[in-house]
A and B are shown apart, each in its own frame.
Chain A
Amino acid sequence: MNKSVAELDIQDESLLVERLKQGDPDAVNEVVDRYQKQLYCFILRLVGDQTTAEDIFQDTWLRVIRSIGYFRGEARFSTWLFQIALNLCRNLARQKSRRSFVPIEEAADLSEDPEVDAVKILQAQKVRKLVTSLPVKMREMIVLRYYHDFSDIEIAEITGHPVGTVKSRLHRATLILRNKIEVSGVMEPCSEEEEENETD
């Protein structure tokens, strides 16, 4: 499994940034390879639509390369990268005149791995529906914390909110999500499966 962005080595990250600043073309390959999956999944979870996610993914990287000279390294590169992507997603949402990012029906076929069994796919889709049913700002928090393992401080840097706001919003979002999970019974097939695995 891929490392989450928060787990990636900070030293390597700053070396990579230095190489980018010096205009090393090999650094472009390395930096994109390193963050492509995490960044793309983050955008896709927020916007829901694959074509839009691809546009924002590309735009994010182009903005990174255009403004890498101004990156002073006070925050981690990954938080800066996600901050740019989030701002682009927010701009898009604003353009779509207060429409929620993800129409749930459109998001239903996002993961299509033939090796994953039907129960898991169904469960994943239910989970996704629950996450996308959250208000946009809460969804941002949940995605950054649970899918990308960012700390409160890093989430605050990415979203541009104070740490206190992040903590309270994250707490509320988690409560709402837990309630939704309990009501929908998404956990149940998972626990049955786990029990089967345990007996094996």
Chain B
Amino acid sequence: MKPIDEESLRELLKKDCLQGPRAALVAETKRLMREELLLAAEPVEIKQKGMIYVLAVLVVLICLNLFYMAAVGTILEFALPSSMAVFIRHSMIGVSVAGASLVSGAAMLIFFKMFQAQRVLGTKN
């Protein structure tokens, strides 16, 4: 008997030909996939909208913070008695710290959400 080479082994194995899935199973699978597709599209849209709102609120807060520091704080420093200057400086620092905390919090949130998405899938792709 001849030794079996790569090609004849392949040919022999391919003689064991199986039939594909039932048409009903394929149709049902497609229907379920289309439903999943619709379900998957909605939360993404909602999440994206949520992110936009968060960013808009952050921008407004930072603008108010800058406005307070640049305008109100400066004016108050001139207008109020010198004994109150320390409160104004503290409030300016406080507002700046709050703004910085919000921005760094949002950055961390985005970073960890991306990291989580990769882990949930559990594969390279």
Contacts and interface: CB of A to CB of B under 8 A. Distances in A.
* A and B held together in a complex: yes
Nearest to B26: A36
A97 interface: no
Contact of A32 (B1, B29, B117, B121): B29
Contacts of B22: 54
Contacts of A25: 34, 37
Contacts of A116: 17
Interface residues of B, number: 37
Interface stretch (B4-12, B68-76, B92-100): B4-12
B30 interface: yes
B20 A70 contact: no
A177 B12 CA distance: 11
Interface string A61-76: 1101111011111110
B63 to A, nearest CB: 34
Interface of A: 20, 23, 25, 28-29, 32-33, 36-37, 40-41, 44-45, 54, 57-58, 61-62, 64-67, 69-75, 80, 83-84, 110-113, 116, 120, 123-125, 127-128, 131, 142, 146-147, 157, 174, 177-178, 181-182, 186-188, 190
